[in-house]
Structure 1
Amino acid sequence: MIKSPLSYFSFNELLGVFSVDQWLLLGAFFLFALYVVMNLYTDIQYRKTSNIQHLFSLIVGLSYFSYTHQGSFLVLVIMLIGLVFGLILERMNTSSPGDTKMFVVMSVWITSFAQENLILHALIFCTITYSFQLAFSWIAWVRKKGLVKAVAEQKEQLILLFTPGVSLGKEVIFENWPGAVNMCLGAIFTLLAGGLMM
C-alpha cells in the first residue's frame, strides 16, 4: 500500500519551527496582503473601496502596531503623515477620499513591520506612493494635452497649490486610474527598502 504524502508531514514539527512572534508576523502579513488585494480588486473593478474594510484593517493594524511597538504614540504621527499626503493628492484632484483612507491604514501597517525608524518608513511609503501617483497623472496629462500645454498648466497648478484660499482647477486628468495600484506599488517598494535598510 502506498502512503499518502501527508503521512510524512508532521504538524508539530512545523509549529516548532517558528516562534510566536514569527507566527504573528506571518498572520499580520497575510492580513495586510489580503487587505491590499481586496482593495486592488474593488478599486480596479468598481472604482471604490469599502469603508468597513478600511476600518477593520485599521483596527487590526493598530492592534499589531501596539503589540510590536508597546506604548508608542508614534502611530498618531504616522497616521497624520498618511492623512496629509492623502489630502494633498485630493486637493490636486488626482485622488479620492478612499485613497486617503488607504494612505492612513497602509502607513500603520507598513510601520508595524519595521523595527526602527518608524517615521522614516512612513515617509518613504507616502513619498513613493505620491511619486507613482504624480508620475501616472503626469503621463495622462501629457497624453491628453500635449507636452507644452501640460508643462504650462502644471506650473499654474503649482502656483495655485501654494496660494492659500485659492481653489485648484476642477479638471479631472484621469477618472479610471485606481489609487490602490499606487498604494500597492508604494508598499512593495517600501517593504523592499525597509529590508535593505535593516
Structure 2
Amino acid sequence: MSMYVIGILIGYMTLNVFTDLKYRKTKNIWHLLFLIVGIGITYFAGIRTGKEITIILVMALVCGLLLETFKFSSPGDTKMLVVVALYVSNIVEESAMLTAITLTAFHLLFFWIASVYRLIKILGFAGAIKDQLEHAASIFGAKLPKKEIQLIQSFPGAFSILLGAIVYIAFTMY
C-alpha cells in the first residue's frame, strides 16, 4: 500500500512543483482532490484512525498558518503542507502530531538554507555569519540596527516542501 501512496504523493508533488516554479501558483482543486483521496486511503486502508487523521490535518494547518503569519509561506504552501503531511503519515511510523511538526521543520530547514545562500551572495560569507549572529543575539534581547535586506521575494514553497518530505521519508525508512 505504501508504494501506491508514494506514487500518488510523487504525482501530486511533481504537478505542484512544476506549476509553482513555472506559474508561481497552484490549483485549489488539486489540493482538494488529493486531500479527499488521501483521507480515503488513510482511513479505509486502516493506516490511521479518524482521530489521528484529524490531528495530522489540524497540526499541519496550524504550522502552515504560523508560517503564513510570519511571511515564510503563502496560502498555497499551507494547503500543500496539509496534503503532504497526510500522505507522509501513511508512509512513516511516527505519531500523527510528530509527523506534521517534523515535516514543517524540514520545510523550514530548506527555506532557511536558501535564505542563507542568498544572504551569503549579498553580504559575503563573513557578513552573513555576522548577520546571523546578530539575529541570534536579538532573541536574547539585543537591539538590532534596522536593515532591509530582501532575501527571498517569492521562494517556491512547493520545492522546499518536496525536499522536506523526501528527507523526512528517507530518515524514517533507513
Q: What's the TM-score, normalizing by structure 1?
A: 0.70
Q: Does the 8 Å contact 1:103/1:126 carry over to 2?
A: yes
Query: 1:40 and 1:175, CA in 2 relative to 1: closer, same or farther beyond 3 A?
Result: same
Distance 1:172 1:76 in 2: 37
Query: 1:92 and 1:171, CA in 2 relative to 1: closer, same or farther beyond 3 A?
Result: farther
Is the aligned partner of 1:184 residue 2:162?
yes
* RCO higher in structure (CA 8 A, sep ≥6): 2
In structure 2, runs of 5+ residues without a counterpart are 141-146
For residues 147-187 of structure 1, the C-alpha deviation after alignment (integer angstroms, 9 at most, x for no partner) is 2774377459868xxxxxxxxx9975312421111111111
- Residue aligning to 2:70: 92
Query: 1:107 and 1:26, CA in 2 relative to 1: closer, same or farther beyond 3 A?
Result: same
- Residue aligning to 2:144: none
Aligned-pair Cα RMSD in Å: 2.8
- Residue aligning to 2:143: none
- Residue aligning to 2:56: 78
For residue 104 of structure 2, what is the amino acid of its counterpart?
C
Q: What's the TM-score, normalizing by structure 2?
A: 0.79
For residue 100 of structure 2, what is the amino acid of its counterpart?
A
Map 1:2-151 → 2, pairs under 5 A? 22=1, 25-67=2-44, 68-69=46-47, 71-115=49-93, 117-144=95-122, 146-147=127-128, 150-151=131-132
Tell me the number of residue pairs that the alignment of Structure 1 and Structure 2 aligns: 165
Which aligned runs of 4 or more in structure 1 are off by greater than 4 angstroms?
155-159, 169-172
Deviates more, 1:52-61 or 1:64-73: 64-73
> Of the two, which has the highest radius of gyration?
1
Query: 1:51 and 1:171, CA in 2 relative to 1: closer, same or farther beyond 3 A?
Result: farther
Percent of aligned pairs with the same residue? Answer: 29
